[in-house]
Amino acid sequence: MADAKTRIDEMVKAQDVVLFMKGTKTMPQCGFSSKVAGVLNYMGVDYADVNVLDDADIRQGIKDYSEWPTIPQLYVKGEFVGGCDIITEMTLSGELDTMLEQKGVAFDKDAAEKIREANA
């Protein structure tokens, strides 16, 4: 599993935003992955998607790496942010906007506001 950990470490450090998910950003393979990818896509966040279904070592390795048992998992600037429930809460509270701004990650603020309005 050391090889998987090294690969994961390189992935989360190579891109500003990385989503480990089931499927891809254009074709998610589970509802939770679809929800997080949908938020990021709608907000115009440039992110790398890693399909854990393609690699069993990465699928288990990401859970060990973050010490978080579920997928999807979002990383921003090498830092684990959370899974579907956490990203949803952060989006609706505006916390995700704040974090992305603080870390210098571009996103569409109007789109983020529309998500909040639609869920108010």
Binding residues for [2Fe-2S] cluster: 30
Is residue 42 exposed (0-12), middle (13-18) or buried (19+ Cβ within 10 Å)?
A: middle
How crowded is residue 101: how many other Cβ atoms within 10 Å of its Cβ? 12
- Name the strands in the sheet holding 17-21, side by side, starting at the edge strand that comes first in the sequence: 48-51, 17-21, 73-76, 79-82
The one-letter code for the residue type at 26 is T
- Structure tokens of 17? 């935003």
Binding residues: 30
Task: State how far the Cα of 12 lies from the Cα of 18, in Å rounded to an integer.
Answer: 6
